[in-house]
Amino acid sequence: MRRDGSAAGEWVVFQAADAFRLFTGIDPDPDAERMFAHLAEVSVSDPEEGMRKSIATVSLSGPLTGKLPAAADAGFDGVEIFEADLLSSPPAPEEIRARAADLGLNIDLFQPFRDFEAVPSDILGRNLRRAEHKFAVMERLGADLLLVCSSVSPDTIADDGLAAEQLRLLAGRAAEHGIRVAYEALAWGRHVDDYRHAWRIVELADHPALGVCLDSFHILSRGSDPAGIEEIPAEKIFFLQLADAPYLSMDVLQWSRHYRCFPGQGAFDVAGLVGHVLRAGYRGPLSLEVFNDIFRQADAGRTARDAMRSLIALEESVSTRLGPEAAGLVPPPAPVVPTGFAFAELATPDTGRLSGLLTALGFARTGGHPTKPVELWEQDQARILLNTGDPDSPTGPALSAIGLETPDPAGSVKRAESLLAPVLPRRRGPREAPLDAIAAPDGTALFFCRTARPDHPSWTDDFTEVPSDPVPSAGITHIDHVALTQPWHYFDEASLFYRSVLGLRPDESLELADPYGLLRSRAVAGPDGAVRVALNVAYVGARPGAPQIPWQHVALGSRDIVATARRLRAAGDLLLPIPVNYYDDLEARHDLGAERHRTLRELGLLYDRDDHGEFLHLYTRTTGHVFFEIVQRVGDYRGYGAVNAPVRLAAQHTGSD
Amino acid sequence: MRRDGSAAGEWVVFQAADAFRLFTGIDPDPDAERMFAHLAEVSVSDPEEGMRKSIATVSLSGPLTGKLPAAADAGFDGVEIFEADLLSSPPAPEEIRARAADLGLNIDLFQPFRDFEAVPSDILGRNLRRAEHKFAVMERLGADLLLVCSSVSPDTIADDGLAAEQLRLLAGRAAEHGIRVAYEALAWGRHVDDYRHAWRIVELADHPALGVCLDSFHILSRGSDPAGIEEIPAEKIFFLQLADAPYLSMDVLQWSRHYRCFPGQGAFDVAGLVGHVLRAGYRGPLSLEVFNDIFRQADAGRTARDAMRSLIALEESVSTRLGPEAAGLVPPPAPVVPTGFAFAELATPDTGRLSGLLTALGFARTGGHPTKPVELWEQDQARILLNTGDPDSPTGPALSAIGLETPDPAGSVKRAESLLAPVLPRRRGPREAPLDAIAAPDGTALFFCRTARPDHPSWTDDFTEVPSDPVPSAGITHIDHVALTQPWHYFDEASLFYRSVLGLRPDESLELADPYGLLRSRAVAGPDGAVRVALNVAYVGARPGAPQIPWQHVALGSRDIVATARRLRAAGDLLLPIPVNYYDDLEARHDLGAERHRTLRELGLLYDRDDHGEFLHLYTRTTGHVFFEIVQRVGDYRGYGAVNAPVRLAAQHTGSD
């Protein structure tokens, strides 16, 4: 991908196939990894000031010495030092302190200190000895706040008075070192598992160096009402840790240790909780503490930016909820939701393989770029660009860019920048009309367009009309949706990206059975369905050498899919064959009448329906890394034919097995 | 790996590094994958007849046309056709029938038919229509047993009489096609979620073509007592589906769909349940129905062999439990449990890098092979072989083989063969003493040895004594354990392999935090701890380009680790540096006295203790793909110092970050 400054004024060409291979996790390519890291760097700008933002080092992958610059680069103000990260780190605490200071990071918390309170006196002695060792480390580290989790030890006694007495003692010792203690109720604490209970003990202990730490996971996973937070005096809320999580019916400890995610990536109302904490008067940092198996493996810099994006979006949500009470919050510029697809751009070594297919699909080549090897193909409102100008072209066509219609391209970019989306160098057409783009998490370029509107220069003006024989329409009217591969370590990042940057709404996450494994799929869509993007990802890491599947596709809306299908059939062997067994089952499931069943079977059409309407669709064979889907929505069908995905996926493997 | 017939009478050399790279999932290598497939083929022999054995196609990866030969090759007698596999398969039912017949596979069951019973009459009509379509497919397929799962539909009514009436109707229709119906209680059925309830309905329906299907997952996941199975008449138990699972506190549907495993790989007492079913008089097939995210991705042939191994081991367990009642069961030959390590063999391009280290560790080069480039190094009962004879040697030393002491080498091989372990071509020494070996799941060769015993030729007789200067002992007495990388798609296979083939006992599975992700680790050990093998695996698929870790190591037992450590320190910079922060924390956790803490810190020793004793250990730096650990067990400490693994793993990354 050429993305240096020299590209301004030119069409930038993307090597989508590299990104494809990289981010599927199937074919590792260190160069592409570096490329993406660079691409992401472009985006990091200082967000405007708002709440102070912090992140626990356990949320990021790699050694402590790499986590600190990752957090700083993403714009965090501080970190929580997770003790295990320090223990396994060669630099001494003094050196970590110096590195953090050099990076402009405050050490907001040292954590966790476990199994302290409400124990018999002999154990108390050992625990205090342990604490003194930690105070010494904290002094060297320059950390003045210690997190104490409610005990899970069999030694602890259900005695709030004793817990308060011992925590008061601990706070007193801490205060001698200039350290304060934040007591937190673990959701699986032996006797103290609720934040209100922790607060009662802290209140009872009544020591100025003792307060509570609130953690959204521990509170919301238990279904506790966070409104009670407002009853805690602001000066007694020493710290606020934030994590989201999907709703999972499972052991809460395992849920917490493996499946936490950043706010907005799960199902919890984290914004609601933060609202209560701010109403209580808390003005300390918003700090992310996320234990997640996948983040542990992911690139730390990328995770840190994802984390910061989640906090910026969270600040916006809280600000909206609180309204005038939201003093101190600085929300980003409002989202500009795209209203349709302007184009889909395919990078391809040559146009030969695609021009026949596009012609069969009823597209006409209507424009050519005067200086760049880019062709414009059109049919009604559906526009495809073929770009043969990529010097490192992939082995076959791949989806490299999408044009999104937006009422305010400049506003779209401003929104994207404020949410750390990687902004790409501008394309400028002959009329010097700026065309702004950002990079999606899978490397696809998203262009903000305003096509053929009097109030804005149009990207189509870059193209010169091409004389060609008229092609009869095949009934295709628009791009219905695009389906994009997501790097599987970054699936949650992707849905947050589309939700926060573009203001699209994520659907439920689905599992689709491919013959070689389960896939996850999640669609994001605009409020009126005019923009729909299906995000797909392999469910877990693929086996080395396992069969690959073509992930990217462009779904074209047809007003008469039967006519489109007949025309495609007449043009040759272009369509993906569907097994006859599918139709036997379809007849068992739906009684559509003999003639309709015969048509579906004859044309290889797939069928689905929901409470709102019907869905007919078919697929072309794959060319390179991309294929086309033709869809017709009847009534207000809202899905994507997921029920048929296993059959489609199996058909795509057939022949390559 | 040269493994053709010509290798008989020769030392066979393994490319352990290839296997290493392949099976870590980090560095895919199609050649190595093929190699392993070949290696596994060697093992597949006809097990002696016992219970008929079947497997559901959903348990295996890939297209249906690949699942059938995989099942046949592993020795299965039949399959359950999972409907989704048929729907997405291009061959028509008749062709699948013919292929199964050609492979000697019976189609034992067609499944699942859902949401049938206890519905209002209009829905009943639709459901019967649906059933007639399926009967037609089954006739074409040559399947005469249909699985009907208890309904989960909101349409179903809690009315056993109605359920029985409608199932009787269904069975009547089925019987007209020569088909029988097996009704199964899903653990999450809307009204029927217990096998006893399903049986009451079947009893009430009282139709000869209607019986129950019992599924160990649905019964044991709910904690139901399987003893009640004995009250069901044998002729009414139409089918038995088997799956194991780890105990997980989670939604039972998700648990069932993603985490089932083969019997012996989970926590359920599947053998106990089968005992009840056999006591009830059931003589149908034992059929595996396993939904597992990882199996969906794994190589089908390999999974099928793993599956068959689990059934053979299950048959043995059931036979042991039932004693004289176990008519019709044919257990494999009894296990011969290894009693110690004979040697560890390292494949290495040259001996230079290792001979200095071995000398520093107190090993002396005592023997050389007269015709092959293999050296024997010894210290007390610890023996290391260095093999430089691999023409495609890896980039650095790697553990390629382990010698296990066994009281009966021939018996060990017989056991291994009967459990489908890949048997490797024999090594024969100059005295023509046979030396048998099998391949472990990660490709490591396991040799069955009887070292220096009068009743058996010794492998050591192959070596000629080498004159060398005496090396003073460093206190090392034996090999304490070896740690082996497992291919991460095959971790459950590995623990079943060691348990069933060698009779070792698996410990609990642990999670270890590496800076770049969580690892799973599970040790298997003989009853007296004389043989211990730690099986390690990356928890989920690694990110492309993520840092690698050296997985394989040989842990040497020392009688005086302080002396061993001093000697190693004196010999140069051979040991893995441990961060000082570790020792600060160790002092906080354990009060071992100032002098002992000073010694640990000075020598870079790691410390752990449990209820039975203490554990001191240290690590050498990594050479190629292998490193050594030195351990001293004080008292009866039973672990492996897992608490220190994160520090060790981080230290191994340091410098490579």
Could you tell me if B498 and B441 are in contact, meaning their C-beta atoms sit under 8 angstroms apart?
no
SS3 B180: strand
Radius of gyration of chain B (CA): 28
Over residues B532-541, the mean pLDDT reads 79
Q: Is the pLDDT of residue B293 over 50?
A: yes
How many Å apart are CA A577 and CA A571, to the nearest integer? 15
Yes or no, beta carbons of B650 and A22 under 8 Å apart: no
What is the C-alpha to C-alpha distance for residues B622 and A296, in angstroms, rounded to an integer? 24
pLDDT bracket for residue B543 (50, 70, 90): low
Q: CA B63, CA B81: separation in Å to the nearest integer?
A: 12
Alpha carbon distance A653, A650 (integer Å): 5
Beta strands in B298-444, from DSSP E residues, in sequence order: 340-347, 364-368, 374-379, 382-387, 398-405, 423-428, 434-439
* B90 interfaces chain A, CB cutoff of 8 Å: yes
State the CB neighbour count (10 A cutoff) for residue A254: 14
> Comparing B12-21, B569-578, B600-609, which segment has the lowest mean pLDDT?
B12-21
Kindly tell me the sign of the dihedral angle through the C-alpha atoms of B305, B310, B312, B313.
positive
Tell me how many helices (H) and strands (E) chain A has: 19, 25
Nearest to A581 by CA among B296, B141, B114, B132: B141
Q: What is the mean pLDDT of each run of 10 residues along chain A (657 residues)?
A: 28 33 34 36 42 96 96 98 96 98 98 97 96 98 98 97 98 98 97 98 98 97 96 98 90 88 94 96 95 87 96 96 84 95 94 92 94 94 92 74 95 96 77 79 92 88 86 94 85 94 92 86 92 83 57 94 96 95 96 96 97 97 92 96 95 72
Question: Residue B495 is which amino acid?
Answer: S
Q: Is B517 helix (H, G, I), strand (E, B) or coil?
A: strand
Count the alpha carbons within 13 Å of B225 in the hemisphere toward its beta carbon: 4
Give the number of other Cβ atoms within 10 Å of residue B431's Cβ: 9
Left, alpha or beta for A587 (phi > 0: left; psi -120 to 50: alpha)? alpha
Which domains does chain B carry? Answer: 48-325 (3.20.20.150), 340-556 (3.10.180.10)
Residues of B in contact with A517 (CB under 8 A): 61, 293, 296-297
Q: What is the pLDDT of residue A546?
A: 59
Note whether A545 contacts B: Cβ–Cβ < 8 A.
yes
Residue B289 counted as an annotated binding residue = yes
Residue in A closest to B24 by C-alpha = A544
Average pLDDT score over residue span B337-354: 93
- Let me know: does A277 contact A236? Beta carbons within 8 Å: no
**Chain B interface includes A125 (CB < 8 A):** no
Annotated ligand binding at A612? The verdict is no
Is residue B141 less than 8 Å (CB to CB) from chain A? no
Do the Cβ atoms of B254 and A249 come within 8 Å?
A: yes
> Tokens 């092609």 label which residue?
A471
Cα separation, B602 vs B579, whole angstroms: 11
State residue A353's pLDDT score: 83
Asked whether the beta carbons of residue A513 and residue B296 sit closer than 8 angstroms, the reply is: yes
Q: Which residue from A27, A93, A540 is facing B541, i.e. has the nearest CB?
A: A540
Q: Is the dihedral of CA B28, B32, B36, B41 positive or negative?
A: positive
Tokens describing residue B106: 């019976």
Write the residue in B63, B542, B647 that is nearest to A653 by C-beta: B63
Higher pLDDT, B626 or A48: B626
Q: pLDDT (tens digit, 9 = 90+) per residue, A400-426?
A: 999 999 999 999 999 999 999 999 887
Reported confidence tier of residue B655, pLDDT bands at 50, 70, 90:
low
- Is A617 assigned to a binding site? no
The CA-atom distances, in angstroms, between B292 and each of A178, A513, A516, B509 are 53, 12, 12, 18
Closest CA relative to residue A96, chosen from A136, A126, A60, A140: A140
- The span from the CA of A157 to the CA of B92, in Å, is 67
Tell whether B80 is in a known binding site: no
More confident residue, A394 or B451: B451
Q: Quick one: pLDDT at residue A539?
A: 56
* Residue in chain B nearest A581 by alpha carbon: B87
Reported as a pLDDT band with limits 50, 70 and 90, residue B547 is: low
**Does the beta carbon of A587 lie under 8 angstroms from any beta carbon of chain B?**
yes
* Residue B541 reports pLDDT greater than 70: no
